[in-house]
Structure 1
Amino acid sequence: MNEDVFGSYEITLDTVAILNARDIDYHTVVLEPNDNQVHVKKRPLQLIKAGCLDGGASYNGRREAVIHELCPRKRWNKVPIPVYPQEGIYAFPTHSPDDEYCYWIFYHHVKTIIPHPTNRKKSIVLFKDRKKPLHVKVSYSSLYRQYVRTSHCIMNHIQKNKDRAQLQS
């Protein structure tokens, strides 16, 4: 485990999850493959917003586009975010992004989500490239719904890119 604290963090394909931390020295714990952790001074939503800008659009723009694409008539507060859609990096929040318990989970690292065995208000996320599971204070049905929404977002982007390619050829 890395004990250094970094001022910022750049989201990459190795970003597994971004967790809110309540520590004097840092606000965020970033999970990476092989059970690596990175401690960061910035808050999780700040990292997501910076990643969106690095990926070519604002967080609010990405959020509004996903709502428009998937369900424009419904009010959402836990919208999946295409951080770097051109690289297949999509994240979904476990809670409202402003909530102190909000974690950001990166879709392509999720192996499966299972209900907590003793608490219906919790879930367990198993990752493809981490031994340690992530315990989340969200019901299985709610977290799985977030996972499925993200899948719809990804498929929608893939289809739009195919449609654009066909129009250009």
Structure 2
Amino acid sequence: MTKILNDYSINPSTMALLPSRHFEYDTLVLEQDQELYVRKTPLQLIKKACLEARSSYDGRREYIMYKTNFRHRVPIPVNPSLQIHTFPTRTPNDFDCKWIFFQHIQSLQHAPSRKLSNEKSVITFKNGQTLGMGESYYLLERQVQKTGSCVLMIGGMNQLFTI
């Protein structure tokens, strides 16, 4: 039986927060070694994690917008001291918005064939796990670039190239 959690704390093992249309849970959490089901939305979990890291979601978002002029799908430094940075795949209030955690991305690829699915791209994480995405390769590549520039701005090269 699948265990459903009432709450979840984003941590360095969190790779992605995926919205779910399931009646018992709102988010599928992908961690490096497990999948978890949570009764809070991805955005609720992001906001809580920002507060736990001594700032608000809105404050972190406004800071990035001020420093970069990014206005859409703004990357969020959830907890820079723990090197936890994430980006939304859509407008954060969109139900289908997924949150991908930058530090776990190994590579992006175009989906092999769209004839059998709606996948347009594939994310490969550093642990070898893959995640098919409905978002275009170009959009995800741009989000990775934006997030990388935020990581450099906030924490420098040592955070961008940790192994």
Q: TM-score, normalised by structure 2?
A: 0.89
Q: Distance in 2 between matches of 1:100 and 1:78?
A: 14
Cα drift, residue 146 of structure 1: 0.2
Q: 2:87 touches 2:100 (CA, 8 Å); kept in 1?
A: yes
The one of 135, 143, 151 equivalent to 1:138 is 135
> What residue is the counterpart of 1:48 in the other structure?
46
Cα drift, residue 101 of structure 1: 1.3
Cα drift, residue 130 of structure 1: 4.3
1:71-93 Cα deviation digits (max 9, x unpaired):
2xx5x230000000111100011
Q: Distance in 1 between matches of 2:131 and 2:63?
A: 29
Q: Distance in 1 between matches of 2:131 and 2:20?
A: 14
Q: Distance in 1 between matches of 2:56 and 2:99?
A: 17
The one of 62, 66, 69 equivalent to 1:68 is 66
Query: Any unmatched runs of 5+ in structure 2?
Result: 157-163
Paired residues, number: 153
Q: Distance in 1 between matches of 2:121 and 2:96?
A: 14
Which protein is bigger by CA-based radius of gyration? 1
> What residue is the counterpart of 2:108 in the other structure?
113
Q: Distance in 2 between matches of 1:114 and 1:46?
A: 29
Q: TM-score, normalised by structure 1?
A: 0.86
Q: 1:80 touches 1:146 (CA, 8 Å); kept in 2?
A: yes
Aligned-partner SS, 2:14: coil
> What residue is the counterpart of 1:127 in the other structure?
125
Q: Distance in 2 between matches of 1:114 and 1:154?
A: 22
Instruction: Give the alignment of 1:85-96 within 5 angstroms.
Output: 85-96=80-91
Aligned-partner SS, 1:154: helix
1:112-148 Cα deviation digits (max 9, x unpaired):
01111224972100001143x1111111001110001
Q: Distance in 2 between matches of 1:95 and 1:153?
A: 18
Cα drift, residue 3 of structure 1: 1.2
- Aligned Cα RMSD in Å? 1.5
Q: 2:80 touches 2:155 (CA, 8 Å); kept in 1?
A: no
Aligned-partner SS, 2:132: strand
2:92 maps to a residue whose letter is P
